[in-house]
Structure 1
Amino acid sequence: MKIKIENSTQLRELRLKRNIEVELPENSTVEDLLLELGLNDLMNEDETLSKYMVMLKNKKTVRSTDTELKDGDTIRLLPMASGG
């Protein structure tokens, strides 16, 4: 299945990639996607996502790495906002 990634972060692993498509096996999860992208550091041991990034799946917030993905899903990666 194909998953579209819209990257708005400065993550080292994805720095030069803004819009990419990833091929994953059927029944893959957000965890599988992060592993495929080399973003293991964004997963917590309790199956939650790092507080340093916001992930949206089809415009809805993703909170857990066990969230299932479907063919054609769009994942958007956003940096957590910080102020000063």
Structure 2
Amino acid sequence: MKKNTQNQEFNNILVDENSVASFIFTAYETGVLEVQFTINNPKGFHNSEEAKNDMNGLMEAALQASKDKLSTYIATEN
């Protein structure tokens, strides 16, 4: 059985040194991507352009990680 290796990354989105959201993603070698995005402080998150930009950057990084994994994946023959 071939194992499906993964990369996992956890990030806090900070505004004025306070965590307003967290972004966790796992990219598997098959290109499968799991993302969990949690807003801990809705008012702080939605009132901050920087926080929204950070979240967009993290999502782009997650999608790129998935794309990179898929580009190097070699399926096993059965």
Query: Structure 2 length as normaliser, TM-score?
Result: 0.29
The structure with more strand, counted as a fraction of residues: 2
The structure with more helix, counted as a fraction of residues: 2
Q: Higher relative contact order at CA 8 Å, sep ≥6: structure 1 or structure 2?
A: 1
Query: Structure 1 length as normaliser, TM-score?
Result: 0.28
